[in-house]
Structure 1
Amino acid sequence: MKKFYLASASPRRAELMQRMGLRFEVRPTHVEEDDSGSAGPEQMVLENARLKAATLSAQVPDALVLGSDTTVALDGQALSKPVNLEDARRMLRMLSGRTHTVYTAVSLHWQQGGLAHSFVERSEVRFQELDDARIDAYFALVNPLDKAGAYGIQAGRDLIIDDVSGSVENVMGLPIQVLELTLQELGFDFWN
């Protein structure tokens, strides 16, 4: 097997895989994701990651495909991408001064080899107390509309985040430490 595909349009995931030194191509899938969280946030990201990987794997059965999904969860409720800036502001107010969980699921599929391996990683993020001025300052740096929970950890982190327990890369959208171990355990070598 020579091909490894990332079934995601996320520039953050591609950047993290590049940082790992992996050889891969980006081939986003266009699937209907479930963002309701009705089965719980962990199960939601797991099913979405599996759906992305399985969909692309059916098109390229001789390649390894990685599907992934991330969500922010507070009190067991998934906070998906905000619909507008007011929704983003509402989410940051909910997260203000509290600790929440970020779940990222990774699903690796290789149809020809009969492989479908998935896992979920979690990190805990504690937010600072946020007032409207701090939220405005954060929004001046970061577009919250394309991020689960209306925030990203890459820019403006010191404005909103107090502490992260677990993988920071998991919060960004891909737990690279666990992914590296998993690829090695499964016998794949896509390193440059």
Structure 2
Amino acid sequence: MNEKRNRRIILASTSPRRQELIASLRIPFEIMPSEADEDTPQGWSPERIVESLALRKAEAVLRKLTDDPGDGIIVGSDTIVVVDGHVLGKPEDQTDAARMLSMLQGRAHFVYTGVACIDRSSGRAKVSHRVTTVKMKSLSDDAIAAYVKSGEPADKAGSYAIQGLGATIVEGIEGDYFNVVGLPLSLLSDMLSEMGMDVLTDS
């Protein structure tokens, strides 16, 4: 295998969805939870929120590796949903999930995902984001209650998972599907390429 492709990729996330997505790139990677604080000040733009949190997660893992002399690229990511200027993260409970879905049903909203990459050998960091428009179907109160009861909304930004049962409540999207799942692979591959790893050719 090419030496560049064999560099250590460290995903600063415990999200099963992000792990599945980065695994689909067929590059060696490992998982290291960031445990970073995800609070942000009121008034920040969606772009600033996701880029700042993605970088914060990557930097938290970098600090954990202070005594580790290895090379590699740390990848952090964060996703939020925005509707009418309201930022929706993960629901606090089922009531909160139902509230979010009531806000989203029958309307278009925006999904923002920030991605941060830190090259351990040089200390260089790159941060960017993608935005996808999602149109959700009109949903009855019974449909919302049934979806919430499924348990799927529990740890999802905006309280739905487009790659799961939530696919049945989405009417359509405009933009990057993987961005909605939680990790825009096209953007990530571009960022890795700028750091010397070409996902397609370095094999």
TM-score, length-scaled by structure 2: 0.87
2:106 to 97, 102, 106: 97
- 8 Å CA contact retained: 1:73, 1:101: yes
- 8 Å CA contact retained: 2:189, 2:198: no
Q: What does 1:2-151 correspond to in 2, within 5 Å? A: 2-34=7-39, 38-60=43-65, 62-151=71-160
Larger Rg: 2
Structure 1 match to 2:186: 177
Gaps of 5+ in 1: none
1:54 Cα deviation from its structure 2 partner: 1.1
1:136 Cα deviation from its structure 2 partner: 2.7
1:178 Cα deviation from its structure 2 partner: 1.6
- 8 Å CA contact retained: 2:135, 2:170: yes
What do the CA deviations read for 1:53-112 (whole angstroms, capped 9, x no partner)?
112123336321001000001122210111110110010000011110000000001243
Identical columns (%): 38
Q: Distance in 1 between matches of 2:24 and 2:42?
A: 31
Q: Distance in 2 between matches of 1:91 and 1:38?
A: 20
- 8 Å CA contact retained: 2:110, 2:131: yes
CA 1:28/1:14 → structure 2, altered by over 3 Å: closer, same or farther?
same
Q: Distance in 2 between matches of 1:88 and 1:97?
A: 16
Q: Distance in 1 between matches of 2:102 and 2:41?
A: 20
Gaps of 5+ in 2: none
TM-score, length-scaled by structure 1: 0.92
| Runs of 4+ residues deviating >6 angstroms | none
RMSD: 1.9
